[in-house]
A and B are shown apart, each in its own frame.
Chain A
Amino acid sequence: MLEKIDETLLTLRNISFSYKMRKGDKLPVFDNLSLSIMFAEFVGIAGPSGCGKSTLLRIMAGLLKPDSGEVYFRGKPLHSPDPRISMVFQNPTLLPWYTVIKNVMLGLINEKELTDKEKEERARTFLDMMGLIGFENAYPAELSGGMKQRVAIARALVSHPDLLLMDEPFSNLDQLTAITLRRELENLWLNQILPISSIVLVSHDIEELVEICDKVIVLTARPSRIAGVVKIDLKRPRSRRSQEFYEYVDKIYTLLS
């Protein structure tokens, strides 16, 4: 990677990571991996299953420490989770004992300068943005899967992060719900309504990635290297039926196999 660290939002440099197995065996996941996320970029990550996509996202979030190599966020080394990076998991991970609005307000729990009233106001704004007005006082158990994931996205956005990491956020939803949610998210991001600069999306749905990403990073099987980075130069909104769209999809599939 040639980009200078302070010109990128997030940079991984020469990352190695392995899982420790029983009896001291090591399962290497990454060996000397480098990549960058630029400002105002929608990046997709694709790779064969089990190649460590989710692990990579957790290293970006500061949840996991690489065995060697550095992570830089806004030009500074990242050692632990940063308030300006937030994450949406595959499962919504809402706390079942709190209402929707309290779950979203959890994202502001460390904002000491905000009053409770302001926190609630801001949580409400994001619930509104995700189309959840009227459900503030519902409990997660009363919501459908798609609505729960909307709450999780609102919680990730409410603290105005710079970087949003998404770990297969649509894969547990039915196809129709997934498409609607993805379209809404894309529109919010394109219209710059979202407070974030960049999004990293892990997915195994290649067409989904080609449809919304500016570039797709393709990983190889374990231990993962970067098989290739595909820049998607297609005008938005992108049509899944166009010839170019399929050329991009094919290109990624070729890199994967």
Chain B
Amino acid sequence: MDPAILIVILSAVGYSWLRMLAALVISILFSIVIGITAAVSKSLEKIIIPILDILQSIPILGFFPIALYAFITLHPTIGPEMAAIFLIFTSQVWNISFGVYEAVRVIPAETLEVANFLRLSIFSRIRHLYIPASFPKIAANLPSSWANGLYFLVACEIITIGEAEYRLFGVGSLTAEFMASGMVLESIVALCFVLLFVVLMNLLVFIPMIRVSVKYRFETYATEIPHAWFERLVKPLTLPIKIITHKPRFSESWRLGVELHKFTNLIIRHRRIIEVLTVFAMVAILASMINIKDLINFSQIISNGFSRLGIVEPLTMLGYSLSRVFIATLITLGWTIPVSIILYEKKTLEKILLPIFQAVASFPATLLIPFIMDFTIKSGLMREFGALIIVLLGTMWYMLFSLRGALSVVPREEEELFKLLRISGLKKLWYLYLPRMTPSMITGCIVTIGGGWNTLVIAERTSLDHILWEVENPGIGKMMSIATTLGDIELLIATTIWMALFIVILNRLLWRRIYEIAIRRIV
């Protein structure tokens, strides 16, 4: 292998990383603004939370071509780059936003009362209370956001719409090129570099941040984060991030806060009016951006797409796609329940396995797609099988970590009680573990199914250079991918709306209810 290729690979990974980093920074800033606003303002909460909920449950890739059009009309050369960052942003941001929202909402009433006594202005509240309080949630969500972003990195570095192909320099496009020209060794080297970068990113940035953030928690009981065996090796290297994130930031903004106090009091007093005005202004800005002609055009496009699709066809596609997602979720449940219990009960085994699971989980499965295609075709399996693997690789890890997390908060006395009553094995699973895991299992199912829909767009049909891969049966993701390749914007928008509506309705009518029932019984 030519050593010059190594440099190409390294710089490709570097480029992709910069793209991801830009998206992550935007995600964090967005989340802080939106999350805090939703948590603090009762009336804006009613608008923001449902919108976030819908945005997080609809397939990102469906909107990507539309976003791409918009960004390219904005600027033809940096447009695709902005679109890519936008796509990565949409895959990273929602869990962080919800994290900030939850963290601010659960700030204990006493702490808020102290803030009231101190007559903190809204700005010093944000600085000294809301942001530090959401820091643990932000830190905890970074690894999974990063993994999500990586998953879609591949999809946004090469996009073909009709005749036009947009290719951004990065590890995603590079690996696809390598595979297309049969350079298997080079693509494996590229994958190894990605894995190395992922592990380093976790060790040097994310894990140290989580460790620092533990001190910011309100909970009085200590939840131990297990130290991975190799963490000790890189400990000195984590110092910079610890210093950056662990700097007490009091006092200097204090006086400013006091001076702003009168002004903010005014704002707080007229909060309602300001909120209404904000919403009004947002609507007005949106309205001014769209002129009537575009609006008529746009509605024409949508209605055309819908009439071309009909009703039976999209429902059939949705049915097939839904069963793919369901099967993937069942398989995920089937292995994560026993494995999370084994990890919980066998601590020494967990010390070895958990870091490995974490590294594998954060590795972007989409980079493996060329290999999975190759494997499925060569071994003569159904393509449905390959699609299932792609969906599983992208979605199953969340369940494992969330079930394992649920088990760590099983009270010690409950464990002792079961030992005293000599209840073990399946009975213990039934009486203790399953009930304790249920809330996380339901959230896990919602996340797995949501993620499943997203990955379907890739899993059901992908064209990488000259290789075309698609499942034998119909599927909504396949349809979206075909519409994108054809550059058929009418069809694309109609399909995306069908899928988004279906998912939102499913979430509202089914998952949300199951979750509420479960929570009521268990807490």
Contact = CB atoms under 8 A, between A and B. Distances in A.
Q: Do A and B bind each other?
A: yes
Interface of A: 58, 61, 63, 80-81, 83, 85-87, 89-91, 93, 95-97, 106-107, 109-110, 141
Contact of A141 (B414, B432, B523): B523
Given A61-B420, A89-B413, A106-B431, 17 more contacts: A61-B416, A81-B421, A83-B422, A87-B416, A87-B417, A89-B416, A90-B413, A93-B411, A95-B414, A95-B431, A96-B522, A96-B523, A97-B435, A97-B522, A106-B423, A109-B431, A110-B423
Contact of B420 (A86, A91, A95): A86
A60 to B, nearest CB: 11
A95 B435 contact: yes
Nearest to B438: A97
A180 B446 CA distance: 48
A90 B420 CA distance: 15
Interface string B448-486: 000000000000000000000000000000000000000
A81 B415 CA distance: 13
Task: Kindly name the residue among A90, A106, A107, A110 whose own CB sees the greatest number of chain B CB atoms within 10 A.
Answer: A106
Nearest to A89: B413
Contacts of A141: 523
B521 interface: yes
A154 to B, nearest CB: 14
A83 B420 CA distance: 7
Given A58-B416, A63-B420, A81-B422, A95 B432 contact: yes
Interface in B472-523: 521-523
Interface in B279-334: none
B419 interface: yes
Contacts of B419: 63, 81
Nearest to B521: A97
B427 interface: yes
Interface of B: 411, 413-414, 416-417, 419-423, 427, 431-432, 435, 521-523
A81 B427 CA distance: 17
A81 B414 contact: no
Contacts of A80: 422
Contacts, number: 48
Contacts of A63: 416, 419-420
Contact of A91 (B413, B421, B427, B431): B413
A109 B419 CA distance: 12
Contacts of A86: 420
A187 B431 CA distance: 34
B521 A93 contact: no
Contacts of B427: 109
A109 B521 contact: no
A97 B417 CA distance: 15
Nearest to A86: B420
Contacts of B435: 95, 97
11 contacts: A58-B416, A63-B419, A63-B420, A81-B420, A89-B417, A90-B413, A93-B413, A95-B431, A95-B435, A106-B423, A109-B427
Contacts of A83: 422
A83 B325 CA distance: 46
B297 to A, nearest CB: 56
A91 B419 CA distance: 16
Contacts of B431: 95, 106, 109
Nearest to A93: B413
B332 to A, nearest CB: 23
B422 A91 contact: no
Given A109-B423, A110-B423, A91 B432 contact: no
A40 B514 CA distance: 51
A107 B431 CA distance: 12
Nearest to A87: B420
A87 B417 CA distance: 8
A93 B421 contact: no
B389 to A, nearest CB: 36
A85 B423 CA distance: 15
A96 B436 CA distance: 10
A110 B413 CA distance: 19
Nearest to A61: B420
A91 B420 CA distance: 15
A176 B421 CA distance: 31
A110 B411 contact: no
B411 A91 contact: yes
Task: Kindly name the residue among A89, A96, A97 whose own CB sees the greatest number of chain B CB atoms within 10 A.
Answer: A97
Nearest to A156: B420
Contacts of B421: 81, 106-107, 109-110
Nearest to A83: B422
A107 B421 CA distance: 6
A46 B115 CA distance: 42
Contacts of A91: 411, 413
Contacts of B432: 95
Give me the 9 closest cross-chain CB pairs, A-B, nearest first: A93-B413, A97-B435, A89-B413, A81-B420, A93-B417, A97-B522, A81-B419, A63-B416, A87-B420
Contacts of A89: 413, 416-417
Contacts of A97: 435, 521-522
